[in-house]
């Protein structure tokens, strides 16, 4: 009797908590409302089954409680009941999985007008690469990453020359324009996740994974790494700014291209060589002076 009432309290408590929960999703800021719909469908199916199973148990507790002289029936098999349960479970599982497959299919079918954005994940931070005027990202390979070539670009690929380097945790995106996110990692598994966009995927070293979304609300959003990747995983955050064309183009023009990066690097190296030379000269002078002193 007491157990039955306790069970009833658990059911009612669960429903009340679900309706008045203090934890819920952030406001959506992309096209992926289908993600929310599939999760809500899972809540309905999972919640419905939970309530039915619990109510059945409450019913059994009351209906079959101990009564003197009553004996239980031995019934090892019930074909009709088993058939019904099998069908019900099948329908439930299909309803849980099928909508997700449909959404996934859209998730990886990128619209033609999408802007490519490469997300480079590293322990522990983010940086980005955008195609230049040609709209194409140059070919890359993690094996040729160096100080001179931080994205491992194939220098023989003309598509890479005008690629834009964003060596910062902050990425800007155009409002109402689809983006194709291409994910790379230089060390371990990471996961690029902006909760408001309802989209995420693992960045896997050695391969390029992708998905797309369309930001549709101006604002600043936090990027989180959603794959445990070491001691500073918690701090692997970034920022995405969704804005209109004017401010987006201004930001874009402030970023560096691969060509200008290489040119600057070459100059730095030349300067460094000069510096070393001057240093050598002065140390030579010192040694001459010293020699004179000795004399």
Q: How far is the CB of 228 from ligand CUA (least distance, A)?
A: 6
Q: How far is the CB of 124 from ligand CUA (least distance, A)?
A: 6
Distance of CA 177 to the CA centre of its chain: 19
Which residues are paired to 243 by β-bridges?
174
Q: Measured from the CB atom, is 160 or 238 closer to ligand CUA? A: 238
CB 180, CB 131: distance < 8 Å = no
Count of residues engaged in binding ligand CUA, rule: CB under 6 A: 8
Q: How far is the CB of 193 from ligand CUA (least distance, A)?
A: 10
Query: What is the β-pairing status of strands 164-166 and 170-174?
Result: unpaired
Q: How far is the CB of 170 from ligand CUA (least distance, A)?
A: 17
Question: Per rule CB under 6 A, is residue 202 in the interface with ligand CUA?
Answer: no
From residue 211 to residue 230, what is the string marking binding to ligand CUA with x (rule CB under 6 A)? --------------x-xxx-
Site for ligand CUA in 108-127 (CB under 6 A): 124
Distance CA 133, CA 181 (A): 18
Q: How far is the CB of 126 from ligand CUA (least distance, A)?
A: 9
b or e along 151-160 (b: 16 or more beta carbons within 10 Å of the residue's beta carbon)?
bbbeeeeebb
**Residue located via tokens 């019934």:** 75
Q: Measured from the CB atom, is 190 or 200 closer to ligand CUA? A: 190
Site for ligand CUA in 129-188 (CB under 6 A): none
Q: How far is the CB of 196 from ligand CUA (least distance, A)?
A: 19
Q: How far is the CB of 127 from ligand CUA (least distance, A)?
A: 13
Distance CA 195, CA 30 (A): 10
Q: Measured from the CB atom, is 174 or 225 closer to ligand CUA? A: 225
Q: Measured from the CB atom, is 214 or 227 closer to ligand CUA? A: 227
Region label for 219, one of left (φ > 0), alpha (ψ between -120 and 50) or beta (otherwise): left
Q: How far is the CB of 210 from ligand CUA (least distance, A)?
A: 18
Question: Per rule CB under 6 A, is residue 233 in the interface with ligand CUA?
Answer: yes
Q: Measured from the CB atom, is 174 or 194 closer to ligand CUA? A: 194
Work out the burial of residue 123: count CB atoms within 10 Å of its CB; fewer than 13 is exposed, 13-18 middle, 19 or more buried. Answer: middle
Among 182, 236, 240, 242, binds ligand CUA (CB under 6 A): 236
Helix axis angle for 33-63 and 79-107, nearest 10°, is 160
- Helical spans, DSSP H, in the chain: 2-19, 33-63, 79-107, 245-253, 258-294
The values of phi and psi at residue 190, to 5°, are -130, 180
Question: Per rule CB under 6 A, is residue 190 in the interface with ligand CUA?
Answer: yes
Distance CA 131, CA 140 (A): 13
Site for ligand CUA in 44-103 (CB under 6 A): none
Give residues in contact with ligand CUA (CB under 6 A). Answer: 124, 190, 225, 227-229, 233, 236
């Amino acid at each position: 009797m007491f157990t039955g009432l306790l069970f009833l309290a658990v059911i009612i408590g669960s429903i009340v908590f679900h309706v008045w929960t203090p934890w819920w999703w952030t406001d959506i800021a992309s096209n992926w409302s289908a993600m929310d719909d599939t999760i809500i469908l899972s809540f309905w199916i999972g919640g419905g089954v939970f309530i039915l199973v619990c109510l059945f148990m409450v019913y059994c507790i009351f209906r079959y409680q101990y009564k003197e002289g009553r004996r239980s029936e031995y019934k090892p098999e019930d074909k009709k009941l088993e058939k019904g349960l099998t069908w019900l479970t099948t329908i439930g599982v299909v309803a849980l999985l099928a909508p997700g497959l449909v959404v996934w299919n859209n998730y990886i079918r990128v619209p033609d007008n999408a802007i490519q954005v490469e997300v480079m994940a590293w322990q522990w931070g983010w940086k980005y690469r955008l195609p230049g005027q040609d709209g194409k990202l140059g070919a890359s390979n993690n094996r040729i990453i160096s100080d001179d070539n931080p994205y491992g670009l194939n220098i023989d690929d003309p598509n890479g020359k005008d690629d834009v380097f964003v060596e910062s945790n902050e990425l800007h995106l155009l409002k109402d324009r689809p983006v194709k996110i291409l994910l790379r990692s230089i060390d371990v598994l990471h996961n690029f996740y902006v909760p408001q966009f309802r989209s995420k995927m693992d960045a896997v070293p050695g391969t390029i994974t992708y998905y797309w979304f369309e930001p549709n609300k101006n604002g600043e959003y936090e990027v989180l790494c959603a794959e445990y990747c070491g001691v500073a995983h918690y701090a692997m955050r970034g920022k995405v700014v969704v804005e209109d064309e004017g401010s987006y183009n201004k930001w874009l023009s402030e970023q560096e291209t691969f060509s200008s990066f290489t040119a600057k690097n070459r100059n730095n190296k030349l300067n460094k060589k000069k510096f070393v030379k001057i240093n050598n000269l002065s140390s030579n002078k010192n040694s001459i002076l010293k020699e004179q002193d000795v004399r």
